[in-house]
Chain A
Amino acid sequence: MSSQQNSYQDIVNFILDNVAKLCKQPRDILSEDTLLATVGVDSLNAVLLCGKIEDEFELEIEPIVMFQYKTAKDVANALINMNQK
């Protein structure tokens, strides 16, 4: 998927779909404002999510992104900003 075509909502949905799988959580309880740490995104899951995002959206992301930003909304905004630089 080209990074130019990624909408904010694509990234948020992708993060939340994968959080649900990795953390064995029902998808419908997760929203863009959910604090990811509260649903089981520990440091290991955070780096795995980074890898999935990097592969899916063909973005080069910094390892620290999942530790700096606490919600899918914050992560998606950060990635879009990084991609625009």
Chain B
Amino acid sequence: MSKYFIGLSTTGHDPAIAIVNPKGQVIFAESTERFLQDKRAWGAMPDQVNHIRPVLKGILAEDPHATFQMATSWLAAKADTINDPHDVFIAKDVINWMASLQKQQQEYAGKNLQFVLGTRVCESIWQFDHHLCHAVNAVYSAPFENAACVILDGEGEVGAASLYSWNDGQLRRKWRSWGPGSLGAFYSWLTDLSGFSSVNGEEWKVMGLAAYGAPVEEWVNRLLCLLEITDGRIHWANREVMANIINFFESEVSFKGKPYMAAANLAASAQTAYSRYTLKILQDVHTQTGHDNLILGGGCALNSSFNGTITNSTPFKCVHVPSAPADDGNAIGAALLAWQKSMSEAGQKAIISHNQGLPYLGSAPEKCDTDKIYNHAGAYHARYLKDDGAEELAQLLAQGKIVGVMRGAAEFGPRALGHRSILADPRSPNIKDKINALVKGREAYRPFAPVIPIERVTDWFVNPQPSPYMSFTLKWKYPQSEQVPAVVHEDGTGRLQTLTAETAPWLKRVTELFGEITGVPVLLNTSFNIMGKPIVHSVNDAVSVFMSSGLDAVLIDTLLLTKK
């Protein structure tokens, strides 16, 4: 009888589910928002019956006697441990709402699985520390045997920063920051002040907008008086000082309801202040640990603009960020911790693996579904390609076509990494506006990202480093950047995905073939969705975007759809 371990991310936002097999390998991980097609899936249970049933069916077909143990990504409901939740950065009603959703998920997540699995699943649900879940998830995909592992987010069990040491398979907490000092909450406040929505997870729009502005020294100085970093821990400054500064920004520097470009200088100031705070934390951590390698997790690890500066600005030589560093990724952390606990209780050695870098852990298109699309093609041409489609796709892209790709298992994490992507030719200066107008419908300033074979990164980027999950923004080299205007941001950077034969063989081949045709081994890659919606999940989602947008073609595994 084999035991599988199901991790449930139970924060209240970004719910997700992950499954670890008896060997301690992650065999499935997916955010609930994909299945529900509801951005961030606020309040939704991570164990949606119809989402998980086909996955379990596959496991039980191969392993009819399988049993299951569930685990959540928090030790307890926050509302039960802290009796007076408050924050200067986030409104009290928002905090109370979020706490109620977290409590609801912590109490009721797993009930659907108990219904579906019956006696196969243990009745008790294990609960694990939130930052420990982040750390285990981050370590699992890290290529290092030794590293400092820093978690920075909005809030954990007791605070918003933790340091772990990762040495030869052992993950140990060195310290955790207590209290409401939080870089995540700080950036959320500035996101709302810039006219965006932190509830919608629009922090990265601030990061993108920062390139269009210049930091205002007075604002940055005031922002840097809000928090104090001591030995890596984050604390609020004097509360009276904080209240005055916050009042100043709310009354004098708020861009709520204004055109987004008006907030560019605030965005630049926010990014500058965030970077300085985080640099101080990382410098403290390096002094404490002496490690050359850094593993970064938690929602703040999605700040790719900052991440790209770490090796130049700190003594750390290598940095790893997992594909899902935010709360969705904690489903993996909880599942792995459950596996470890179960093994330990059985008296067996249980070292959590690392260097497990493949992010393609989600649902895959079913052949029966693509056959339906093929058989009922009326408004479009449909044909199955004989090979893997790489050559034909490279040709289409070189002709200027915008192509949606849905291939194999979906990426786990917020970035499209070639399995749920829209690809295009980055050489055209007009393609960005075209994709925005015809497909994505998003703000014109926001950059599109490049993909590039790892061997070519040195030729095209300054401070080259691996970026398999689009976690790092690097400066393009000049004049190479002039060849790819569609993926060069206002400040001359690109949030690149580096391609290796191990992590993204097919997309690497497409990009190389495109390079052979055009002389440019770079493609534009953006997520396969429309503005406001999650990345496509089902074959029907993909066809729906294709039929209701300006996409020229869609490749679903080997089924190519083109418009008549």
Contact status of A42 and B158, CB under 8 A, knowing A47-B179, A48-B179: no
B235 and A48 contact, CB distance less than 8 A? yes
B84 and A63 contact, CB distance less than 8 A? no
A43 and B158 contact, CB distance less than 8 A? no
Q: How far is the CB of A49 from chain B (nearest CB, A)?
A: 8
Q: Which residue of A42, A54, A64 is within 8 Å of B178 (Cβ)? A: A54
A-B contact pairs, 10 of them (CB 8 A): A43-B82, A43-B86, A47-B82, A47-B159, A48-B235, A51-B178, A54-B175, A54-B176, A54-B178, A63-B158
The CA of A44 and the CA of B81, in the complex, are separated in Å by: 13
Q: Which chain B residues (148-197) contact chain A, with CB distance < 8 Å?
A: 157-159, 175-180
B84 and A51 contact, CB distance less than 8 A? no
Binary flags per residue of A41-70, CB closer than 8 Å to B gives 1, else 0: 011100110111011000000011001000
Which residues from B are CB-within-8-Å of A42? 84
Q: Which 6 residue pairs are nearest across A and B when measured between Cβ atoms? A: A51-B178, A43-B84, A47-B179, A48-B179, A63-B158, A63-B81
Contact status of A63 and B82, CB under 8 A, knowing A48-B235, A51-B158, A51-B159: yes
Which residues from B are CB-within-8-Å of A55? 175
Binary flags per residue of B226-255, CB closer than 8 Å to A gives 1, else 0: 000000010100000000000000000000
Q: How far is the CB of B499 from chain A (nearest CB, A)?
A: 42
Q: Which chain A residues (31-46) contact chain B, with CB distance < 8 Å?
A: 42-44
The CA of A50 and the CA of B159, in the complex, are separated in Å by: 11
The CA of A51 and the CA of B86, in the complex, are separated in Å by: 18
A67 and B179 contact, CB distance less than 8 A? no
Q: Does B83 contact A (CB under 8 A)?
A: yes
| B177 (CB) vs chain A CBs: closest residue | A51
B177 and A67 contact, CB distance less than 8 A? no
Chain A residues with CB under 8 Å of chain B are 42-44, 47-48, 50-52, 54-55, 63-64, 67
Contact status of A51 and B233, CB under 8 A, knowing A44-B179, A63-B158: yes
Which residues from A are CB-within-8-Å of B82? 43, 47, 63, 67
Contact status of A67 and B83, CB under 8 A, knowing A48-B179, A51-B178, A54-B176: yes
Q: How far is the CB of A62 from chain B (nearest CB, A)?
A: 8
Which residues from B are CB-within-8-Å of A67? 81-83
Which residues from A are CB-within-8-Å of B157? 63
Q: How far is the CB of A54 from chain B (nearest CB, A)?
A: 7
Knowing that A44-B180, A47-B82, A48-B235 touch, tell me 15 more A-B residue pairs with CB under 8 angstroms: A43-B82, A43-B83, A47-B158, A47-B159, A47-B178, A48-B178, A50-B158, A51-B177, A51-B179, A51-B233, A54-B176, A63-B81, A63-B157, A63-B158, A67-B81
- Best-surrounded residue of B86, B177, B179, B235 (most CB of chain A within 10 A): B179
The CA of A42 and the CA of B82, in the complex, are separated in Å by: 11
Binary flags per residue of B78-100, CB closer than 8 Å to A gives 1, else 0: 00011110100000000000000
Q: How far is the CB of B504 from chain A (nearest CB, A)?
A: 40
Which residues from A are CB-within-8-Å of B175? 54-55
The CA of A48 and the CA of B236, in the complex, are separated in Å by: 10
| A49 (CB) vs chain B CBs: closest residue | B178
Which residues from A are CB-within-8-Å of B159? 47, 51
Q: How far is the CB of B88 from chain A (nearest CB, A)?
A: 10
The CA of A51 and the CA of B163, in the complex, are separated in Å by: 14
Which residues from B are CB-within-8-Å of A50? 158, 178
- Best-surrounded residue of A42, A52, A54, A63 (most CB of chain B within 10 A): A63
| A58 (CB) vs chain B CBs: closest residue | B175
The CA of A51 and the CA of B157, in the complex, are separated in Å by: 12
Which residues from A are CB-within-8-Å of B84? 42-43
| A61 (CB) vs chain B CBs: closest residue | B158
The CA of A64 and the CA of B78, in the complex, are separated in Å by: 10
A44 and B86 contact, CB distance less than 8 A? yes
| A67 (CB) vs chain B CBs: closest residue | B83
Which residues from A are CB-within-8-Å of B83? 43, 67
Which residues from A are CB-within-8-Å of B158? 47, 50-51, 63
